[in-house]
Amino acid sequence: MTAPAALRPTGSPLRRLPALVAYVPRACLPRRRLAVLALPCATILASGLLARAVDDRAVRAFTDVAGLGIFGLAMPLGTLVIGDAVLGAEVRSGTLSFTWLTPVRFWELALARWLGGWLVALCTLVPSAALAAVLAGASSLVGPVVVATAASAAAHIALFVLIGALTRRAAVWSLAIVFVIERLLGAVLSGIAQLSPSWQGQAAFVGIGDVTGVRARSGIPEGWDAVVRLGLLTVVWLAVATFGLRRLQLTGARD
Amino acid sequence: MTPTSPPALDPAFVPDATVVVDDVSVWFGQKVALSELSCSFGPGVTGLLGPNGAGKTTLMRAMCGLIPPRRGHVTVLGHDPRGHRDVQSRVALVPEEDAVPEALTARQLVRYSATLNGVTDAGAVERSLAEVSLTDVADRRLGGFSKGMRQRAKVAAALVTDPEVLVLDEPLNGADPVQRVALIELFQQLGAAGRTVVVSSHVLHEVERLAARIIVVVHGRLAAAGDHRSIRDAMSDRPRRVLLRSDDDRRLATGLLGLDQVVAVELGEGGVTISTGNAGELALALPNLSRQVGVRLREVRALDASLDSVFADLTNR
Same domain, B114 and B217: yes
pLDDT score for B6: 52
CA–chain centroid gap for B216, Å, is: 8
Q: Pick the residue from chain A with its C-alpha nearest to B17.
A: A2
Other C-beta atoms lying within 10 Å of the C-beta of residue B25: 17
Domain count, chain B: 2
Same domain, B201 and B276: no
Q: Pick the residue from chain A with its C-alpha nearest to B32.
A: A255
Q: Give the type of residue at B168.
A: L
Supply the DSSP symbol for A3. P
Rounded (5°) CA angle A61-A76-A227: 75
How far apart (Å, rounded) are the C-alpha atoms in residues A197 and A237?
12
pLDDT score for B121: 86
The confidence band for B46, taking pLDDT boundaries of 50, 70 and 90, is: very high
CA–chain centroid gap for B141, Å, is: 29
Supply the DSSP symbol for B30. T
Confirm whether B209 is domain-assigned: yes
Same domain, B166 and B285: no
Give the ipTM.
Answer: 0.88
Confirm whether B173 is domain-assigned: yes
Q: Give the type of residue at A129.
A: A
Domain boundary among B235, B267, B297: B235
CATH code (residue B307): 3.30.70.920
pLDDT score for A194: 87
pLDDT score for B97: 83
Q: Which residues contact B137 (CB under 8 A, 6 or more apart)?
A: B106, B145, B149
Question: Which residues sit opposite B243 in a β-bridge?
Answer: B273, B301
Same domain, B106 and B134: yes
CA–chain centroid gap for A66, Å, is: 17
Say yes or no for a CB contact (<8 Å) between B86 and A2. Answer: no
Question: What residue ranges of chain A have pLDDT lower than 70?
Answer: 1-11, 212-214, 252-255
Same domain, B261 and B209: no
Same domain, B145 and B168: yes
How far apart (Å, rounded) are the C-alpha atoms in residues B195 and B78?
15
Confirm whether B1 is domain-assigned: no
Say yes or no for a CB contact (<8 Å) between B99 and A93. Answer: yes
DSSP B106-170: HHHHHHHHHHHTT---TTHHHHHHHHTT-GGGTTSBGGGS-HHHHHHHHHHHHHTT--SEEEEES
| Cα of B79 to nearest chain A Cα, Å | 6
What are the φ and ψ backbone dihedral angles of B174, each rounded to 5 degrees?
85, -5
Same domain, B79 and B195: yes
pLDDT score for A249: 87
Confirm whether B307 is domain-assigned: yes
Same domain, B177 and B245: no
Domain boundary among B187, B211, B235: B235
How far apart (Å, rounded) are the C-alpha atoms in residues A158 and A79?
10
Confirm whether B13 is domain-assigned: no
Same domain, B79 and B113: yes
Say yes or no for a CB contact (<8 Å) between B91 and A255. Answer: no
Please give the share of chain B, as a percent, with pLDDT higher than 70. 90
Same domain, B256 and B231: no
Set of chain A residues whose Cβ sits within 8 Å of the Cβ of B70: none
Over residues B208-231, the mean pLDDT reads 85
Question: Does residue B236 surpass a pLDDT of 70?
Answer: no
Helix (H, G, I), strand (E, B) or coil at A97: helix
Confirm whether B74 is domain-assigned: yes
How far apart (Å, rounded) are the C-alpha atoms in residues B207 and B311?
15
How far apart (Å, rounded) are the C-alpha atoms in residues B305 and B286?
18
Same domain, B260 and B220: no
Question: How confident is the prediction for chain B on average, in pLDDT?
Answer: 86
Sign of CA dihedral A227, A228, A233, A236: positive
Domain holding B255, by residue range, is 237-316
Set of chain A residues whose Cβ sits within 8 Å of the Cβ of B89: 7-8, 10, 102-103
- Which positions 129-148 of B are in contact with A (Cβ < 8 Å)? 143
Confirm whether B291 is domain-assigned: yes
**Which run of H or E residues covers position A102?**
none
Supply the DSSP symbol for B104. S
Q: In what order do the strands lie in the sheet with B165-169?
A: B91-94, B165-169, B196-201, B44-49, B213-218, B221-227
- Which positions 15-34 of A are in contact with B (Cβ < 8 Å)? 15-16, 19-20, 23, 26-31
Question: Which residues sit opposite B266 in a β-bridge?
Answer: B273
CA–chain centroid gap for A133, Å, is: 20
The confidence band for B44, taking pLDDT boundaries of 50, 70 and 90, is: very high
pLDDT score for B317: 46
Helical ranges in chain B per DSSP H: 56-64, 106-116, 124-131, 147-159, 177-192, 204-210, 228-236, 249-256, 279-293, 307-316
A190 touches chain B (CB under 8 A): no
Q: Pick the residue from chain A with its C-alpha nearest to B82.
A: A246
What are the φ and ψ backbone dihedral angles of B259, each rounded to 5 degrees?
-85, 135
Same domain, B215 and B229: yes
CA–chain centroid gap for B197, Å, is: 12
The confidence band for B152, taking pLDDT boundaries of 50, 70 and 90, is: very high
Domain boundary among B235, B270, B305: B235
A11 touches chain B (CB under 8 A): yes
How far apart (Å, rounded) are the C-alpha atoms in residues B301 and B241?
9
Confirm whether B3 is domain-assigned: no
Say yes or no for a CB contact (<8 Å) between A103 and B65. Answer: no
pLDDT score for B1: 46
Supply the DSSP symbol for B277. S
pLDDT score for B242: 85
CATH code (residue B55): 3.40.50.300
How far apart (Å, rounded) are the C-alpha atoms in residues A54 and A65?
9
Q: Pick the residue from chain A with its C-alpha nearest to B61.
A: A251
